[in-house]
Amino acid sequence: MQKGKGRTSRIRRRKLCRSSEPRGVNESHKSEFIELRKWLKARKFQDSNLAPACFPGTGRGLMSQTSLQEGQMIISLPESCLLTTDTVIQSYLGAYITKWKPPPSPLLALCTFLVSEKHAGDRSLWKPYLEILPKAYTCPVCLEPEVVNLLPKSLKAKAEEQRAHVQEFFASSRDFFSSLQPLFVEAVDSIFSYSALLWAWCTVNTRAVYLRPRQRECLSAEPDTCALAPYLDLLNHSPHVQVKAAFNEETHSYEIRTTSRWRKHEEVFICYGPHDNQRLFLEYGFVSVRNPHACVYVSREILVKYLPSRDKQMDKKISILKDHGYIENLTFGWDGPSWRLLTALKLLCLEAEKFTCWKKVLLGEVISDTNEKTSLDIAQKICYYFIEETNVMLQKVSHMKDEKEALINQLTLVESLWMEELKILRASAETLHSLQTAFT
């Protein structure tokens, strides 16, 4: 038998491969997690499946203490551990919320409680949980304006909307905060500052789990669906896993079951949903490497950038695309231009004598080889434009990293987003090249 080809050799290589995978460092011994465990135990929660750990690439997360099988319960967190609007209403804030008109939103109730409890420090019953929450977040609303300016245009616009939304949320809540003055010795303006509310807003927005909608007379009609889940919210996201997560009305616990298998000492992930990287960045403040849902968005302006300006039917073509929902969500992905993008380009590339065939284009029919080739050529030009633009933005980010050391973490995150988009565009360019060879 040839050396290195036997069963023993294969097992040795497999073990070597596994041992070379990045392992997490168990953090159960840290004081904040010891206190959290005690706090959770007092609320009837115990767990032998998972342990807090720090992992290369993802940071703090949860590690499997034993092998986990498909369908096995990962975690079952009792209702007594959840922080919900019920928690807030039953607290010292309840009387103030109940009498305030118009009724505060569920989000405001949760944010107010978080800020108040954080201010209470050692006096807070929720201190063990508050101690493990991030001190700062990396959602675009928390980034410096000069860093936001380096985001892709579509994400930058959403980031600016997000910032305006949070600023309005703060401004509209100040009167309610003032009504809480009897609860504090210090001036409420110093406690419920914009930065404090921003931290609370990000905590809820990035870490809350979903509950069935409930309606409370003392709260506004906005959906009351958020709950903070201590310890459970240490689970990080991976687009490559699937889990079943929901509140179990029979056991009165929030439960997560895995549909994957996990080896001992591996990081255990959950999936926040089939989100692309721009959505993950906007809502959660991170980027997922090799995210299968990641894509690069093509705006209307770029869509028509390489089309002939003399096309007298262009306005009508754009109108048709709008009417049929083909002007938004046009993308490049890992497997090339999306079907929606190519369909839009095929319609826009219709020759005058073929314009009456536009319905067939939307149905996916091939009109002519000329139309197919022209649309692929335009797609390739758009793709190359994006590759050039992405390289320019990466140079700008790199330059700012050299100049603004204080912003290095924010800039590194933005850089990772652009790097992932560049990988997607290069993959799309290769796919387009392959498709074009069919017409040569």
Q: Check whether residue 314 and residue 421 sit in a common domain.
A: yes
Residue 392 has pLDDT above 60, yes or no: yes
Q: Check whether residue 193 and residue 318 sit in a common domain.
A: no
Q: Check whether residue 334 and residue 219 sit in a common domain.
A: no
Of 183, 213, 228, at which residue does a domain stop?
Answer: 228
Q: Check whether residue 305 and residue 224 sit in a common domain.
A: no
Angle at 32 (CA atoms; ends 28, 34), nearest 5 degrees: 50
Chain-centroid distance of CA 127 in Å reads 27
Q: Is residue 263 part of a domain?
A: no
pLDDT-derived band at 57 (thresholds 50, 70, 90) equals: confident
Q: Is residue 75 part of a domain?
A: no
pTM summary value: 0.91
Q: Check whether residue 120 and residue 213 sit in a common domain.
A: yes
Q: Is residue 70 part of a domain?
A: no
Instruction: Give the mean model confidence (pLDDT) for residues 192-215.
Output: 96
Q: Is residue 265 part of a domain?
A: no
Q: Is residue 199 part of a domain?
A: yes
Residues 203, 228 contacting (CB under 8 angstroms): yes
Residue 429 has pLDDT above 90, yes or no: yes
Of 176, 202, 228, at which residue does a domain stop?
Answer: 228
- Residue 440 pLDDT: 67
Instruction: Give the mean model confidence (pLDDT) for residues 10-19.
Output: 42
Average pLDDT, the chain: 93
Q: Check whether residue 300 and residue 216 sit in a common domain.
A: no
Of 228, 260, 285, at which residue does a domain stop?
Answer: 228
Number of separate domains in the chain: 2
Chain-centroid distance of CA 123 in Å reads 33
Q: Which residues, 6 or more positions from 23, have their beta carbon under 8 angstroms from its beta carbon? A: 55, 265
Bridge partners, residue 60, by sequence: 54
Spatial distance between the Cα atoms of 317 and 347, rounded to a whole number of angstroms: 7
What one-letter code names the amino acid at 52?
Answer: P
Residue pLDDT, tens place only, 246-296: 999 999 999 999 888 999 999 999 999 999 999 999 999 999 999 999 999
Q: Is residue 52 part of a domain?
A: no
Q: Is residue 41 part of a domain?
A: no
- Of 5-14, 118-127, 211-220, the range with the lowest mean pLDDT is 5-14
Residue 190 structural domain: 83-228
Instruction: Give the mean model confidence (pLDDT) for residues 307-336.
Output: 93
H/E element, 177: helix 153-178
Q: Check whether residue 300 and residue 215 sit in a common domain.
A: no
Q: Check whether residue 223 and residue 335 sit in a common domain.
A: no
Q: Is residue 253 part of a domain?
A: no
Mapping DSSP to helix (H, G, I), strand (E, B) and coil, where does residue 78 land? strand
Spatial distance between the Cα atoms of 346 and 221, rounded to a whole number of angstroms: 45
Q: Check whether residue 102 and residue 198 sit in a common domain.
A: yes
